[in-house]
């Protein structure tokens, strides 16, 4: 019963390096999301994908790109990492009729 799976769980980058966070869900959900969580800020939406082949910006999209590879997978890319992108990143998918978000366990990213 995997649900939402994110990789990697931990990553340390140097400023200017690039990386991709991977996310996959096995619940056949249409909509998927990337959030970042910072102390005292709650969760802020970076990008979302309402269905396969579509993506839209959320509240804090600058510095990120996403790809909805297929219905299962939704990746988040940092092209040139900055210290301000140090955060915990969560992928989630939403039940089509329940509106309930199912979260991955998070990816902790540190940019030096």
Partner 1 sequence: AQSVTQLGSHVSVSEGALVLLRCNYSSSVPPYLFWYVQYPNQGLQLLLKYTSAATLVKGINGFEAEFKKSETSFHLTKPSAHMSDAAEYFCAVSPTGANSKLTFGKGITLSVRP
Contact status, residue 65 vs residue 20, Cβ threshold 8 Å: no
Min dist CB 23 to partner 1, Å, is: 11
Min dist CB 100 to partner 1, Å, is: 5
Min dist CB 40 to partner 1, Å, is: 6
Q: For residues 23-40, b (16+ Cβ closer than 10 Å) or e, as one string?
A: bbbeeebebbbbbbeeee
Contact set with partner 1 (CB under 8 A): 4, 30-31, 33, 40-45, 48, 50, 58, 90, 92, 94-101, 103-106
């Amino acid at each position: 019963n995997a649900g939402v799976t994110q990789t990697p769980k931990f990553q340390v980058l140097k400023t200017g390096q690039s990386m991709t966070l991977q996310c996959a869900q096995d619940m056949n959900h249409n909509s998927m999301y990337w959030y970042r969580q910072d102390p005292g800020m709650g969760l802020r939406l970076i990008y979302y994908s309402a269905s396969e082949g579509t993506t839209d910006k959320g509240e804090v999209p600058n510095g990120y790109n996403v790809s909805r590879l297929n219905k299962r997978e939704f990746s988040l890319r940092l092209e040139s990492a900055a210290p301000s992108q140090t955060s915990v990143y969560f992928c989630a998918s939403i039940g089509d009729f329940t509106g309930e978000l199912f979260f991955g366990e998070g990816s902790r990213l540190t940019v030096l």
